[in-house]
Structure 1
Amino acid sequence: MIDWKRIKVLQDEIGKDDFPDIVEIFVEEVDEIIQSIGGAPDLETLGDTLHALKGSALNLGFSAFADLCQQGELRAADGGAQDVSLAPILQCYAQSKDIFLAGIVNAKCP
């Protein structure tokens, strides 16, 4: 669900002191997007929104969440935005965020 190796690479790239700032920005931005699509998503922009979420997720190692976003993005691109099931995407993000934050707090990140 979480690519801890990617997180280690990111920490090395930006430095451990600045990493919490990146995490805070990521969580704030993704939480805001999640809230916007959780109610009544704009089907015309859903593919673009899922694409943006996928990119953010990959940058911070949320691999399972990124995979679900990509599946939804592709379905929307094929004209099936109305068929994208957001519940599994939203649930995966919530679970991934909990695991990630617990791992960071408990120093499980390598």
Structure 2
Amino acid sequence: MINWNRVRELRDEIGEAEFAEVVAIFLEEVESEIDVLRQQPDLHNLEAQLHFLKGSALNLGFADFSTLCQHGEVAARQGQTSLVDISAILRCYEQSRSVFVHGLPDLVAA
């Protein structure tokens, strides 16, 4: 679900102080897009939304979430928005976020 090696790599590249800021910005920006998907998805903008979420997720190691976003992005690009399982994307994000937030203390301690 979470690529912890990617998370460690990012933390090591930018330092712990900057890492905390990146995590905060990531969660804020992604939550904003997730809220849009949750409340009223814009099917005309779905490809761009999923592309943004995919890229953000990859940067912070949200592997499964990124994969779902990629599949949805491809479907939306092909005009098959009805095949995009927004509920599954939202569930995966929530699960990934929970695993990530609960695993951060172990990462910082390492």
Q: Please classify the TM superposition score into its range, dividing by the shorter chain length.
A: over 0.9
Report whether the alignment pairs 1:40 with 2:64. no
Q: Which residue of 2 aligns with 1:72?
A: 72
Q: Which structure 2 segments of 5+ residues have no match?
A: none
Structure 1 residue ranges, 4+ long, deviating more than 2 angstroms after superposition: none
Counterpart of 1:94 in structure 2 is 94
Matches within 5 A, 1:1-110: 1-105=1-105, 107-108=106-107
5+ residue gaps, structure 1, are none
Alignment length, in residue pairs? 109
The 1-side partners of 2:70 and 2:94 are apart by 17
| Matched letter for residue 54 of structure 1 | K
Q: Quick one: distance in 2 between partners of 1:5 and 1:69?
A: 20
Cα distance between partner residues in 1 of 2:78 and 2:18: 39
Q: Distance in 2 between matches of 1:15 and 1:35?
A: 30
TM-score, normalising length: structure 2: 0.94
For residues 37 and 20 of structure 1, what CA distance do their matches in structure 2 show?
26
| One-letter amino acid of the structure 2 residue matched with residue 35 of structure 1 | D
The CA deviation at 1:82 is 3.0
CA–CA separation in structure 2 for the residues paired with 1:83 and 1:12: 38
Contact 2:8 2:107 in 1 (8 A): no
Q: Which has the higher helix share?
A: 2
Q: Return the alpha-carbon distance in structure 2 between the equivalents of residues 102 and 83 of structure 1.
A: 32
Q: TM-score, normalised by structure 1?
A: 0.94
